[in-house]
Every structure is written in structure tokens, then in C-alpha cells.
Structure 1
Amino acid sequence: MADVMIAVMPFVGHVAPLAAVARAFFADGHAVRVYTGSAHAPVFAGLGAEIIPWTAAPDFDEHDLTPTFPALRGRKGPRQMLANVEHLFIRTAAPQSDDLVAAWAERPWDVIVADNLSLGARLASERTGSPWVTVAIVPLAIPSRELPPPSLGIPPARGPAGRLRDAALRRLLPLATRGMRSAYLEQRELCGLPVAERSFDDAWYSPDLVCASGVPELEYPRSDLPEQVVFVGALTTPPRATGELPAWWPELVEPAASVVHVTQGTLNVDPNDLIEPAMGALGRQDVTLVVTTGRADAPDLPFPVPPNARVAGLLPYGELLPHVDVMITNGGWGGVLAGLAHGIPLVIAGGDLDKPEIATRVAWAGAGVNLRTGTPSARRVLEGWRRVASTPSYRENARRIAASLAGHDGPAEVVAHTMGLLATRTGTGRNDEKP
């Protein structure tokens, strides 16, 4: 049995996959502690995990970030992405590591397993000398000498001019991210750590083991992918509703028309961004619209709902997606993988954070249409839906990716790879060198 510390950034999209990983560690007989925010602690406590709360680190409300992080006020698009990374993920890293080191002092763990945006886990690993496993719950953002900088939503170059463009962007990246790089050095200094041997770009990933959600079919070809990266498929479906299914649910079991699922995701859930234009686009089409607002406590919409639409806060994807023909999504990675796992072609309106990158990868893989904005017009949504619904190759490619995802049991593979790492470290599967 291993003593496992799981570090989870307190966002719904991070909690769902890491809860599945925690469940798999329990099933394999290991002891599990979880470090996360108070809003999501009950999820892991319900699994039997011991909770280590955010104490030194600021415990925040993911649906209202600006009271805790005022620098995020009024930002959207690329400016929001840069500000989010700096203030939410980097500038909380030192206090996160303080919380984790305090837990280590009470009872050392054998391994820390963390989502790849939990930078505090990396610093805690360095401070304690303990093994660290990264679970990449968003697409890999490991730089490559052969690709454009990650997270820009730019597909690989196809010719000499494109390769020159990518090289120029790689040179500009340190300038564009110098604020984040400076913040990272400050956090290391606060922890009493020296300047890192590995670059800031590599700081988010363990040098020993990276369990990447997804499959190679959604990863750009490259010859310099680090050898510690293993793809584990999907980790879980997005958060599901609890309680009874809506009264209109039987309409999906034997639908009278094609079913189109529209989801705003679970972060930045302004329904005017995607849900409203999707309803405007498809409200008069011969389809059944199944819409989720992303908030279980806020299932209603502030605008009229067309007769062919059915609305809920959250729905059980395991039961919904087998009935869906096309999915219109804001591009959250968990929802995208869930849709593709069911062979559903996608229309993606990815506006901020990692979503433009996800939309670009899905379009590159031929499994969906990238609307290239998080706030599309109704006409743009309609054109995207018509293209996906009428072109067989999108469904064929989605089914090809589904077959690849079906070959994985993501949470169990994370456990197996982690225990393999510990075995190579100690010869026993435990970290017997801890004090």
C-alpha cells in the first residue's frame, strides 16, 4: 500500500478527473489524502479521502474570482488567459506548497499526484524530495522545436513560410510571458528554492512521469515529445447532475429529430456567449436541442427558449451522449473527450484559456469545426452545425478517436504508471527513504 497525496486545483473541470484518479487509488488499496479548496472537499471526502484544505493558499470561489484576484477584473480572451495563469496558478504556488509541506511534516507521503496546473505540488516535491507525478487534465503544453508555441490555438506549419512563422513565435514567447516567468521565480524564492534547472515552460510537468489525458490522435506529431509522457485516454466524464432526470428525458430515448447538445461548460458560463446564438441558429431547425447551463444551481436562462429546446443545469453524460448526434461546445477538455469517446462530431466555440487550442486540435484531427471565437454569431453556429451534420468525414474521424479512447482505462492507468515509478525508485513500490 502506498500513501498518496493528490493535489487538485479547485475547479470543477479539475476535480472530476482527479476524483476518478482518487477512486482508482482507493480501489487498488492505497491511502489517499487530497489537497484542494473547500468548495470541492466534499467530493473527495465522500470517497473516503482525508482532506488537506487550502489554508495558506487563498481559498476562492471559481464562479466569482475577482474578490480574491482583483487583477482578473474585466479581462477576457488572451489577456484573461495570461492573467489567470499568473495570478491563479503561479502566484498561489508558494502558499500551496506551504500547505503541502505542513501536511508532509505531519505524515510524509510516498508520492504526490497532481493536476498539471498545481504548480504548488512541484514546489512541494522539491522541498520534500518526494516523487511527483503529473496528471495532465488539459492538452499538453510542452514546448517543441518543431511546433508553434503551445496554447496559442495555431496548428502546425505546412510549408517553409509556416515554419518561419513558428520559429518567430517561439522566439517571441519568452517576451510575451515574462510576467509569468518573473512570478514563478518569485514563488521559488519565497519557498527558499534556487533558480530552477528546468525552464519555466517545463515547470508544469514532472521530469519522471506525465500521465496525459487524451490520445495521440489529438496530439500534433513531433519527434521531441519527452519520454516520460504516457497517454491514458479519458479520465472521466464532466460533472453530472444528481437527483431525478428531467421530465422531458423520455424524448431523448426515442427522439423525433436529430439531437444536438449545447454546453457552455462549467467556467465562464455566460449563456449569452454560446447558448443564446446556438438557440438562435437551431431554434427553427428540425432538431431537439439539449442545453446545459453548467450550473446545477442555475438551470434557467435569461432569454426566451425555443420550443425545440430542453434546458438543464447539468446532465449525466453517460446517459445523455449515446443519444446525441452533434455537440456544440465551448471546448472544455473533459466535455470534448466525453463527446469524442461517443464518436460525436463537434462544433467548438473556444474563447479563452486552453479552449482555442482544444478547438484547433479537434479541427486538425478532422473531428469537428472550429468557430474561432467564444462568442459566435447565430449564423456562424448554423454554418458550423450544417457543415458537421452534412459531412460524413467528421463523424468518421470522431469514431476513429472514440476507438482509440476505448482502449484506455485512464484512472487505472494513472495508478499503474505511478506504482511503476515508485517501484523503480525503491524496488518495493513504496518510498522507503522518507524520514
Structure 2
Amino acid sequence: MGWIVWGVGLFAYGVAVMHRTSLGVAGLEAADHFGTTPGIVSTFVVLQLATYALAQVPVGLVLDRVGSRVMVVAGSLIMGGSQALLAVSDDLPLAYAARVLLGIGDACIFNSVLRLLPRWFRPQLVPLLSQVTGMSASFGQIAAVAALLPLVKSGGWEYGLLIAAAVSLLPATAAAIWIRNAPPGTEPGVVSDRLREIPSNVLGVTKHPATQLGFWIHFTSGFSFTAFVFMWGLPYLVVGQGLSQAAAGGLLSLLAVSAMVAGPIIGTLTSRHPLRRSDLALIVIGAIILAWAVVLLWPGRAPLPLLILLVVVLSAGGPGTGIGFDFPRTNLPLTRLGAANGVVITGSFSGATLLILVMGVFLDLVADGRPYTPDHLRWAWALQAPFFLVGLAGILASRRRLRRLMAEQGVVVPSWREVVERIRRRRGRPGRRLH
């Protein structure tokens, strides 16, 4: 039953991501439909992501009270309604309202699926299944590129989005039938806090260093990946690097597939080396920074193999954000995971929201009404450098506080020097034989 419950959750999340990334793959078509610029369309995405990020903590609190089943059904229906509204909208105010609704509905899904895992599966499996849950986003991204975009191109804006909206009825129905908040015979795992207790409980969850470390890992590992997928990846590849739209769409599909491969690997490493989870996140982040630095500093257009490498490395940022959820899971009560995971999820989405907005404003200023040039997009992507610096500082500071707390509880994380010395001594023991 647990696998069925989780499978329905994966399906719901995949459909949610298809809706979430719709403007990332059809941004140019949206600009044509509304008679505006890609910079203005980017504000749709900014509003959607800002709503998604701001809704996470309130949605998490409701999730802890009503459980995952209600939230997945409600979120799926809200997202379907929002896409239908966007399909029939011809002016910007209605389009903005549609993206606000989309952000609210989207906020209900992923956290709800994550909250099911500790209830239905043994702890050793949860990190891997969390990564696979995040990995299912790749199916949604592929559906947006391979299904939604062709529908919009062939049948028009309204036809394509109305078909996408109707798809949301499938996960809503499946969730109502199959999802259960906990196995039969166990406590439902929901809370009934009094209203006056909610602010102090939220503050306690937010101030915990495990929640803060999760937030900063999610922020730093994911903001670049999210901004690339949601808005500025396709324009950068088409305008900045001279690729055809088909080739750029192929790279976005490769990004999704690569994330599917990286997710289980990162999940397995997280489960096997729980004391080195933050180091694993730092390795992922360092690789992303290095890949971007090489591509942006390359004179002229980057060769295709280098763009492929950028996409593959960037794809690890999505699974890298999943490491952040493991810290609240192992340091906070299960009944508080909805609120804690809500705080963590705001990480990359708040960063991506700000980056997309900053890049859009910058591009409109430097272009001054003219088409964007490759240099414009190169400098726009360089604006992510301070985001990485702030994120790394947050990771190191919150990790230091969490490790102090862990040491007070008897869990000491050895330094790398101690680890190397321990391995050296183990290998140098006399009498060891290989069989």
C-alpha cells in the first residue's frame, strides 16, 4: 500500500511540475500571445515563484493539521484551474491572477508527498525515496517540452493550456482514492495546535539550525537550476548560444534526464554517509559554480560539448536541494515536518524568484527595447555570483550551529583529517589479509 500511496504522489508531483515549468518552455509563445516582451513574461514566473515560496510555511502548517491526501487533491485542482484561467486570458491582470493561483496549488504538492515517506517507509529508505520524489520532477519537465509545447505550437495557446489543465483531474482523482496519511492502525500523524501556539511553534521550527541548514542548502544548490528551467535557460541557449529551439529543447530534456540519474546517486550517498551530507551538497554546488564560470568566461559562443557539460552539472542542483530535507527529518519531530520542509522549500525558489526578476530588469535596461544580444545574456547570468556567495556563507554558519547542537547530544562529526588518519591506521594494521 505504501508504494501505491507514494506512486500516486509521484504522479501528482510530475503533473504539477509540468504546469510549473510551462512558461519556461513556452515563454516566447506567451510573449507573442500577450503582445509583450520576454522580460515582462518573466514577471509571470517571478510572481508564480514568489507565491510558491511565500505559501510554503502556511501550507506546511495546514498540511500538519489535515494531512497529505487533502492537500494533494486541493493542489491538483487549483493548478488545473489556474492553467485554464491562463488559457482564456488575453490581458495581463488575469494572467497574473492565474500565476498566483498556480503558485498556491503548486505549494501543496511536493511537501505533501515528502511528508508521507517517514510514515510509510523505514528510515534507511527515506533519503533515497526523497530523491526519487524530486526526480519525478524530470517527468514533468519532459512533458512540458515534449507534450505541452508542441500542443501550444500546433493548436494554439488556448488549446494547449486547456488540455494541460484537464490533465490535473487525473492526479486529483487518484489522490482522493488511494492516498492515505499513514498506514492503517497507526496514528494519523497530524497535530491540533491551538491558534495562539502556532506562531511560537513556527518560530521554533524556523530557528532550529537543522531547518536553517536545509534552507541554505536548498537555496544554494537550486536557485540557478530553477531559474534556468523556469525562465532564462531556453532564451540563453537560443539567443546567447545560437542554438535552434529544437536543440535547446533537447538540452532541457537532457537536463531532466540527468537529474533523474543524479537523484538516486545523491540519495544513496546521503543515506550511507549521514554525517557528510553537507559536504556532498558543497561538492554539488562547487561543480555548478565551476561549470558556469567556464561557460560564461568562454570567448564567444561555447562549444556544444561544454554546454552539454553545463546542463549535466546543473541538473545535479535539483537533487542537491533534496539533501536539505534530510536535516529536519533527522532532527525534528515528524509532526513538524510540514512546517519545517515548507521553510526549506522556500530556499531555491526565493533565490530563483529574485534572480529571475533581477535578470529580467537588467536585460530590459541594457536592451532598451531592442532584442537581447549574447553579451546581454552572458552578463545577466553573471548576476548569480553574489547569490552563490550568500548561500555558501549561510551553509557554513548554520552547519557550525547544528554541529555544536549535535555534539551536545553526543554526535560528533570528525574532521576530514581524523577520517584520513583513521583510514590510514586501518590499512596499516598488521595481519590483515585479503580474501
Q: Which has the higher strand share?
A: 1
TM-score between the two structures when normalised by the length of structure 2: 0.31
Give the alignment's TM-score, normalised by structure 1: 0.31
Structure with the larger RCO, 1 or 2 (CA within 8 Å, 6+ apart): 2
